[in-house]
Amino acid sequence: MSFTVYVAMFGFVPLTVGLFAVLPVRRAILAALVLGWLFLPMAKLEVSGIPDYDKIVATNLGIVLGCLFFHWRELANWRPSLWDAPMLLWLISPSLSSITNDLGLYDAASMGVRQTLVWFLPYVIGRTFFRDGEAFKELATAVVLGGLIYIPFCLFEVRMSPQLHKWVYGIEVNQFMRNIRFGGFRPVVFMDSGLMVGMWMANATIIAFWIRLSGERVLGRFSYWSVFAALLGCTILCKALYAILLMIAAIALLTAIRYTKSILPLALLAACVPGYILARSSGMLESETLTEPAAEMFGADRAQSLGARLYQEETMLSHAMRRPLFGWGGWRRGWPMDPETGKPKVRGVDGMWLIVVSECGLYGLVALFATLLLPVIATFPHFRVAAANDPAAGAISVMSVCLLLFTLDCLLNGMFNPLYAMAAGGLTSTRNASQTPRTVDLKAWEPLVWTVPRNLRRINGN
C-alpha cells in the first residue's frame, strides 16, 4: 500500500471541510461526494474509534463535519417524521442483531457507529439540504459531470487495461482476469469493480437522457443530446452487461412514462424487488428458471456466473432462516459451514439482501428495502409533471429511478454508494416540494481549480 493512500484518505476530510468555506453548501456536498467516490482509493485503514475507515466513511465524515462547522443550524432544524421510520429502524438493526446474538455491547456500539457513518448521516444530509427540484437539478448535474470527468479515465483503461488504481495507490483491487470482457478490458479506475464503474456511467447516461426530455436543452456549452451520446458510448465500452441492461430498462421505462402519462410501469418495476425476494425465499422461483434463459441470451459464462449467485442465495437463505428475526450478526457468523471440512460452503456473498438477511434478519431486510422503496413511491406525482417538460420535476423523478435501479442491483450485488442514501433522504423531503425554475446555473460548476483559489483570495481580502 503506497503512502498516497494515507495522504488521500486522511487529507480528504480537511479538504472537504475547506470546500464548505468557499462553495455554497449543496455544491460543496456534491463536489465532495463526487470527487471522493470517483477518486479515493478502495482501501480500509485502522483508525481508533472508527470501524473500517474507507472511502465511504472518509467522504461522509468530511461532508458531515463541513455541514456542522458551517451549516449546523440547518441540521439542527431537521425533525424526523413517520417517513423516516424505516431509516431509523434500519439504523439500529445491526446493533439489535449484535445484542440478540450475545456479541457484547462493544460490538453493538461499533456496528451502530458504522451504520450511522455509512447510511444515516448521508440520509440526514439529503433530508436537510436536498428538499426540492432546484436541489435535485444540482444533484443530477453533479452525477452527469462526474460521468463526463470519468470518460477519459475509462477510455484509458479500456485501451491499456485497469492499471490506474495500482499506479496511483499501489493496490490491485481485484483479479486482472475478471476485467477481461468481449476481447477487451473493462475499466475499474478507482472503484471496486468494473460493474461499479458501469453503474455510475449508466446512471449518468439515464439522467442526461431524462433531463433532456424534461426540457433542459444544454449543459454549459454542450447540448444534452451530445452529453447523452458521449456517456452512452462510454457506458457500452465499460462492458458491464448488467449495468447496460438496467440502463436500457430505465430508458425504456422513462420513455413509456413520458408518452403514456402513467406510472404503472414504474410501480411494476418497484414491485419486482419484494416479489423476487418472496419468490426466492419461498422456493417458488428455482435457479433453473433463471439460468437456462440466461444461457440462451447471454452465453454459458454469464449463465454460470448467475448460477453461482443463485447457489449463494439458496445456501445462505437456508442457514439464515435458523435465526430469522434478527439474523446472526456480523463477522460472517451467518455463513453456513461444511461440517466435514469446517470451511464455508460459499466463497463469497454478492447480493446485499442476502448479506442483510444473514446479519440482521427479516427485521433488517424489511427496514432496508422500506428505506429504499418508500422514497421512490413518494415521488410518483413528479413523473407526470416531468412528462410535461419540467426539468425540476424531471431531476426528482430521474433520481428516483436511479435509486430504484440501485435497489434492484441489491438483489444481485452489494455495491453501496452514499449517493443513494443521500438521494433517499432528499426524495423523502420532496414529496410536498413545490415547483422551481427551469434553468440550471452552470456557472456555479466552474472547475474547482479556478473557483477555490479565487474564493480564498476574497476571504483573505486580496
- The reported pTM is 0.85
pLDDT 10s digits, 356-414: 888 888 999 999 999 999 999 888 877 766 555 677 888 888 999 999 999 998 888 88
Q: Among the listed ranges 298-307, 317-326, 418-427, which one has the minimum average pLDDT value?
A: 298-307
Q: How far apart are CA 56 and CA 195, in angstroms?
A: 18
User: What local confidence, expressed as pLDDT, does residue 25 receive?
Assistant: 92
The one-letter code for the residue type at 110 is: S
Average pLDDT taken over every residue of the chain = 83
| pLDDT for 338 beyond 80 | no
The residue ranking higher by pLDDT, 183 or 436, is 183
pLDDT score of 49: 60
Task: Specify the pLDDT at position 222.
Answer: 83
* Across 64-73, 99-108, 109-118, 359-368, least confident range: 99-108
**What local confidence, expressed as pLDDT, does residue 48 receive?**
66
For the stretch 232-244, pLDDT in tens is 999 999 888 889 9
Lowest mean per-residue pLDDT among 32-41, 80-89, 278-287, 413-422: 278-287
The yes-or-no verdict on residue 432 having pLDDT over 70 is no
Residue 63 in grid coordinates: 461532508
Q: Phi, psi at residue 47, to the nearest 5°?
A: -130, 125
- Enumerate residues 6+ apart whose C-beta is below 8 A from 292: 303
Whether the per-residue pLDDT at 448 is higher than 60: the answer is: no
pLDDT over 90 at 279, yes or no: no
Confidence of residue 251 (pLDDT cuts 50, 70, 90): very high
The pLDDT value given to residue 434: 41
The CA–CA distances, whole Å, from 208 to 213, 221, 283, 395, 405 equal 9, 15, 39, 10, 16
Quickly tell me which residue has 434492484 as its cell: 408
pLDDT at 151 over 90: yes
Residues facing residue 181 across a β-bridge: 184
Which pLDDT score is estimated for 302? 66
Q: Give the percent of the chain with pLDDT over 70.
A: 84
Please tell me the predicted confidence (pLDDT) of residue 179.
Answer: 66
How confident is the model at residue 197, as a pLDDT? 92
Distances (CA, A) of 53 to 44, 64, 400: 5, 15, 29
pLDDT computed for residue 288 by the predictor? 66
The string of pLDDT tens digits covering residues 110-129 is 888 889 999 999 999 999 99
Nearest-angstrom CA–CA distance, 117 and 64 = 9
Tens-digit pLDDT profile for residues 161-191: 888 888 999 888 776 667 676 677 889 999 9
